[in-house]
Amino acid sequence: MDSAERAERIAHAVLSVLGVVRLDGGRFGEVATYLPGRRVTGVSLDDESGEVHIVVAWPATDELARSLDLLATAENVRAVAQEIAGVPITVTVEDIVATGRD
């Protein structure tokens, strides 16, 4: 699988992790895989490592609150991304979005 396909598969898998609201490009939008005519924001890969930057929901939904915290969400993202990438992945929580729960 080429790097474009890997980046797209990682983005799709990360967005399916409970608690992830969206991928984030970082402070200046620099975290991305650049492809001809488009980019995969929030996923950066090279031959030796990768980065995934996410925005997480918090306070969590009741389901999420029972099963996860921020570190667990980041770990779940790392696990799914690393499985697809085949290289070590660093996960950065760029922001936390309020869900309306107190």
Distance of alpha carbon 52 from alpha carbon 64, whole angstroms: 21
Give the model confidence (pLDDT) of 25-73 as tens digits: 999 999 999 988 999 999 999 999 999 999 998 765 566 565 567 888 9
Nearest partner of 40 among 15, 4, 80, judged by Cα: 4
- Domain spanning 3-97: CATH superfamily: Cation efflux protein, cytoplasmic domain (3.30.70.1350)
Domain residues of the chain, as ranges?
3-97
pLDDT range class, residue 82, cuts 50, 70, 90: very high
Number of neighbours of residue 79 by Cβ within 10 angstroms: 13
Distance of alpha carbon 93 from alpha carbon 66, whole angstroms: 20
Q: What is the pTM of this model?
A: 0.86
pLDDT of residue 98: 80
